Chains A and B, each alone.
Chain A
């Protein structure tokens, strides 16, 4: 048996560490640890609730809009405030732009190198690469000359001896299965997607002034609409948004989806690895009739247990018995004892580090071993993310979701159950991007239609002044970050934040096990993951990356003595 430590796990957001035992070429146990903490909840106490979006937004600069959205909704929920239709549409457009940007970046820049061997691309035939590219997509940059130039540039780059971000990669590893031409095509699209991602973000800049970290506002959106003013959102600004959406559709349909399908077709065995948990949770999002009508969300709300797609359970963020956070293996202390589970409205964030003093070789996985708390829904561990969203939508009877999923699975010749896997998770992310990029167009058309009939309002002033607020109030704001279900809970007293808690997607997926020993998503999905070379964590990265971790953490592999990996037999 080999005990390996991967710390940092790279190509993610945040600081994540995985310790795993490998026996007979497969992972037999795994421990996931978040190794950085900032104490947001403590910093938020006593602040103006209207400022909370800006504070919580800084939880993550990758999914840079989602905490701001959860936060304004939380405060609006507490103050019983609804926002104008235009504000909701603009929030939806920003939400969709975030998804498309984030998922494309994840696929090409965070996840692709788990499947694509950059060095193998050097032996590709440019003509054959061109033929491959043209056979799967109408994307115009696909000529033999284009690929020949790219190959020459790549060769010059490798020959320079300065491999930069590609240094020490797992090139030549037997788990890489793509032919050289597919690798060269993927490298081309890695670069094209890198250049394009900065464009789609301009939707945030137009509505929110900047990206990362665009501006939000409790009660609406900060931008105004006025077709008679150069200083408001006018026809030029709307045309810009429209153009950016059209370009995004092209990227998704002509690069992302064809590449995803092509790459997936070479790795069918990965529809059989990394399934992990069998419970899925989605809060749902993209309201079409207001935030308080989840039945009309594009992504429905619900929970699935035991992979039973016949039944979708209702989910209520306000019910103190549904969502609770545990700290049996997390470096925190609860005033009433660490075995308690606390609903976020009563949540506590008292840092209590009991781990080894750095520098350390190993964490004490029998005790507390992470800065991530362990949330449970009705005491079940739940997977959240694109797969959970698609499954809940599929099982809820959303025909547009069913059509997209069935069509893709048909092309890959895979049953629905194939989705319960590492590759299924990666495929689900692509398929929902395909849906979202078209929904973005719908929301834009709705916004224009609204403007056309003279509805220009973007802000509801009823509760802006704190003198209109009750002495105490509590609210919950649910949303779906690209990585999964995200919620904030607030308690307001005398116009100030009394308590604020965030339960983020990676809290669900990347948390340590609970007191009953139930694993969370990463730890469960890693079980059974094959590992060809225990000193090269390529397959572990595939499964961990399929969740798109977002913890400001990274993974490194260590042996049981905590040294960097060698094969060490500990029996």
Chain B
């Protein structure tokens, strides 16, 4: 570990990649991370001059779906991430060492790379019973988290567990499950979702590697580039919502035609995520495309905003111009009154909206986000 670390370009050279491939990779990283401001030159420079940064991945109260999603990333593929772009020094899921040899990897990185390593956290931290609900190596999750976060260069909360507590925080939260931003005294990049999309996860990491600073975040600490738009507003079925055409029962004629799933409980209208654009598993599909409504898995306390198959109340004035920061994420359950009215009004309103700059309201000028969690 004491040897000088090669840059990403050097390590790619060592692995026999020609410079053409390297530039290709940089271009790809640029696109993946959605880096509008930075040109490819800055990306190339970043990878040429930065060594593979040490990365520590902690697991607490979780189901490992975030790790699984991470390895589903299709661009870049995970083998390249693990062996070319990062030095994943501690990860209970994949590392060869166990027990004290594993713990030594963690301690070495914290001791030898203060201010340099990226801390990735999967899972919430139980605070009841002095932490006895989640212990690793005899230490409580809270202890380990605070220790590892104190000298990390950046802290990323993977998934809804780490970002907002997810399922174990659902009522009655038996173990005192707590999102990590409540426990560490520093900014946390929240990448919610159960799990987040694999390509989004690698893109967030790539963003930091390329630019040396985190992506722009919204008021909930989420990268705007992936959580700035509602699933509903980017959904290919949105036109059916606007036209008032809905699935009325599972596998009915309208379901086969792919009409809007709003009446089946879809949470797309109140969920900020990249699903309908980036899609899942290399762009293969996303929940709505495969016939099931969005359950809102990236939103705070989504487990307590159910039942999932009861549809949302109407949300007038809740159009494509809104963002998480301007309207918050309060979910209302209720009758469908107003849906038909919306279908008519939206088509009128749209003409005006489309002529407006969509990002105008994305500048964070609105009131703080709502939702129960904050």
Q: Which of B83, B101, B303, B309 contacts A157 (CB 8 A)?
A: B83
**Most-contacted residue by chain B among A64, A221, A231, A362 (CB, 10 A):** A231
Q: Check B74 for interface membership: any CB of A closer than 8 A.
A: yes
Q: Let me know if B285 and A210 touch, CB within 8 A.
A: yes
Contacts of B249 in A (CB 8 A): 461, 464
C-alpha gap A165/B87 in the complex (Å): 8
Interface of A is mostly: loop
Interface status of A537 (Cβ within 8 A of chain B): yes
A377 within 8 A of B: no
Contact A209 B3 (CB under 8 A): no
Whole-angstrom distance between the alpha carbons of A535 and B98 in the complex?
11
Q: Are A209 and B100 in contact (CB under 8 A)?
A: no
Q: Is B363 an interface residue (CB 8 A)?
A: no
Known: A153-B14, A457-B251, A464-B249. A351 touches B105 (CB 8 A): no
Cα distance A500–B343 in the bound complex, in angstroms: 41
Are A48's CB and B250's CB within 8 A? no
Given contacts A50-B309, A161-B3, A215-B290, contact A169 B96 (CB under 8 A): yes
Residue A257 lies at the interface, judged by CB distance under 8 Å to chain B? no
Cβ of B1 within 8 Å of any chain A Cβ, yes or no, is: yes
Q: Which of A196-253 contact B (CB under 8 A)?
A: 197-198, 201-202, 204-215, 217, 219-226, 229-232, 240
Docked complex: A131-178 residues within 8 A CB-CB of B: 149, 152-153, 156-157, 159-170
- How distant is the Cα of A451 from the Cα of B93 in the complex, in angstroms? 41
- How far apart are A188's CB and chain B's nearest CB, in angstroms? 11
Please measure, in the bound complex, the distance between the C-alpha atom of A457 and the C-alpha atom of B255, giving whole angstroms. Answer: 12
- Count chain A CB atoms within 10 A of each CB in B60, B101, B104 and give the residue with the most: B101
Q: How far is the CA of A212 from the CA of B287 in the complex (A)?
A: 11
**Cβ of B238 < 8 Å from any Cβ of A?**
no
Bound complex: CA A50 to CA B307 (Å):
8
In B134-173, the 8 Å CB interface with A consists of 134-140, 143, 166-168, 170-173
- Whole-angstrom distance between the alpha carbons of A358 and B130 in the complex? 7
Complexed CA–CA distance, A229 and B100 (Å): 57
Whether the pair A39, B174 counts as a contact (CB closer than 8 A) is: yes
B309 nearest CB across to chain A (Å): 6
The one of A43, A161, A226 in contact with B171, judged by C-beta atoms closer than 8 angstroms, is: A43
Residues of B within 8 A of A60 (CB): 63-65
- The winner among B62, B97, B237, B258 for most chain A CB atoms within 10 A is B97
CB neighbours (8 Å) of B101 from chain A are 168-170, 536
Spot the interface stretch: B24-32, B276-284, B311-319: B276-284
- Per-position binary interface string of chain B over residues 74-111, scored 1 when its CB falls under 8 Å from any chain A CB and 0 otherwise: 10011100110011110111111111111111000000
Instruction: Return A209 CB to nearest CB of chain B, in Å.
Output: 3
Distance A209 CA – B237 CA, assembled complex (angstroms): 14
Binds B, one of A9-17, A283-291, A416-424: A9-17
Of the listed stretches A24-32, A511-519, A556-564, name the one at the interface; the rest are far from the partner chain.
A556-564
A535: which B residues are within 8 A, CB to CB? 100
Contact A168 B87 (CB under 8 A): no
In contact, A159 and B14 (Cβ under 8 angstroms):
yes
A159 to B256, alpha carbons, bound, how many Å? Answer: 56
One of A35, A153, A164, A224 near B135 (C-beta < 8 A): A35
In the complex, are the beta carbons of A212 and B65 less than 8 A apart?
A: yes
Q: A270 contacts the other chain (Cβ, under 8 Å)?
A: no
Shortest C-beta distance, A79 to chain B (Å), equals: 15
Cβ-neighbour of B195 out of A149, A159, A213 (below 8 A): A213
Compute how far the CA of A79 lies from the CA of B5 in the bound complex, rounded to whole angstroms.
61
| A37 contacts partner chain B, Cβ-Cβ < 8 Å | yes
Nearest Cβ distance between residue A111 and chain B, in whole angstroms? 11
Given contacts A8-B98, A50-B307, A358-B135, contact A161 B5 (CB under 8 A): yes
Contact of B290 among A5, A201, A223, A461 (CB under 8 A): A223
Interface string of A553-571 (1 = CB under 8 A from B): 0111110001011000000
Query: Quick one: which of B60, B130, B134, B250 has the most chain A CB within 10 A?
Result: B250
A448-464 interface code vs B (CB 8 A; 1 in, 0 out)? 00000000111101001
Please name all residues of chain B whose beta carbon is closer than 8 Å to the beta carbon of A310 when the two chains form the complex: none
Residues of B within 8 Å of A230, CB to CB, are 258
Q: Assess the A458–B139 pair: CB atoms within 8 A.
A: no
Whether A232 touches B256, Cβ cut-off 8 Å, given contacts A15-B135, A355-B132, is yes
Contact between A9 and B99, CB atoms less than 8 A apart:
yes
Query: Does B326 interact with chain A (Cβ within 8 Å)?
Result: no
A51-59, A272-280, A339-347, A393-401 - the one binding chain B: A51-59
Residue of B nearest to A41 (CB): B174
Is the C-beta of A266 less than 8 angstroms from some C-beta in chain B?
no
The reply to whether A51 and B97 contact each other, CB–CB distance below 8 Å, is no
- Quote the shortest CB–CB distance from B174 to chain A (angstroms): 3
Within 8 A of B (CB), among A36-76: 36-40, 42-43, 47-48, 50-51, 54-55, 58-62, 64
B66 at interface (Cβ–Cβ under 8 A)?
yes
| Complex contact A213–B194 (CB within 8 A) | yes
Interface check A361, CB cutoff 8 A: yes
Cβ-defined contact, B168 with A43, below 8 A = yes
A382 within 8 A of B: no
- CB of A260, distance to nearest CB on chain B (Å): 19
Which chain A residue shows the least CB distance to B15? A153
Chain A nearest CB: distance from B283 CB in Å?
9
Q: In the complex, what residues of B have CB within 8 A of residue A156's CB?
A: 11, 14-15
- CA separation between A457 and B97, bound complex, in Å? 49
- Pairwise interchain contact B64-A224, C-beta atoms closer than 8 A: no
Q: Is B229 an interface residue (CB 8 A)?
A: no
Given contacts A160-B14, A161-B5, A554-B92, contact A10 B97 (CB under 8 A): yes
Chain B residues, CB < 8 A from A128: none
Supposing A37-B175, A168-B104, A541-B98 touch, asked if A224 and B131 sit within 8 A by C-beta, the answer is no
Q: Does A78 make an interface contact (CB < 8 A)?
A: no
Interfacial chain A residues near B3, Cβ < 8 Å: 160-162
Indicate which residue in A42, A204, A240, A357 contacts B130 across the interface (CB closer than 8 Å): A357
* B1 CB to nearest chain A CB (Å): 6
Cβ contact within 8 Å between B306 and A48 = yes
Nearest Cβ on chain B to A108's Cβ, whole angstroms = 11
Beta-carbon contact of B100 and A557 below 8 Å: yes
Q: How many angstroms from the CA of A461 to the CA of B177 in the assembled complex? A: 37
Using A42-B174, A209-B280, A226-B256 as known contacts, say yes or no to A14 and B16 having CB atoms under 8 A apart. Answer: no
Q: Which residues of B contact A61 (CB under 8 A)?
A: 62-69, 195
Bound form: Cα–Cα A552–B93 in Å: 9
Tell me the smallest distance from the CB of B248 to a CB of chain A, in Å: 11
| Contact among A153, A232, A557 for B98, CB-based, below 8 A | A557
Asked if B65 and A562 sit within 8 Å, CB to CB, the answer is no
Mask, B4-38, CB within 8 Å of A = 1, is 11100001001110000000000000000000000
Distance (Å) between the CB of B48 and the closest chain A CB?
Answer: 16
Q: How far, in whole Å, are A36 and B177 apart by their CA atoms in the complex?
A: 12
- When chains A and B are docked, how far (Å) is the Cα of A537 from the Cα of B99? 8
Q: Which of B275-311 contact A (CB under 8 A)?
A: 275, 280-282, 284-292, 295, 297, 303, 306-309
Q: Which residues of A contact B61 (CB under 8 A)?
A: 36, 38, 552
Q: Is the pair A211, B72 in contact by a Cβ cutoff of 8 Å?
A: yes
Q: Please report the C-alpha to C-alpha distance between residue A557 and residue B64 in the assembled complex, in whole angstroms.
A: 22
Measured CB to CB, the closest approach of chain B to A137, in angstroms, equals 20
In this assembly, does B222 line the interface, its C-beta being within 8 Å of a C-beta of chain A? Answer: no
CB-nearest residue of chain A relative to B133?
A: A37
Least distance between A32 CB and chain B CB atoms (Å): 14
A-chain residues with CB within 8 Å of residue B194 when the two chains form the complex: 58, 213
Interface residue? A127 (CB, 8 A):
no
User: Is A113 an interface residue when CB atoms closer than 8 A count as contact?
Assistant: yes
Query: Which of B65, B99, B170, B295 is A8 in contact with, Cβ under 8 Å?
Result: B99
A-B contact pairs, 18 of them (CB 8 A): A6-B99, A7-B136, A48-B306, A59-B63, A64-B68, A160-B52, A161-B2, A161-B3, A164-B87, A168-B101, A201-B72, A208-B287, A215-B290, A361-B138, A552-B59, A552-B62, A556-B102, A562-B138
Given contacts A43-B170, A209-B286, A358-B131, 7 further A-B contacts (CB under 8 A): A5-B99, A11-B94, A55-B303, A169-B97, A194-B77, A351-B174, A353-B132
Nearest first, the 4 closest Cβ-Cβ pairs linking A and B are A231-B258, A61-B65, A161-B3, A39-B174
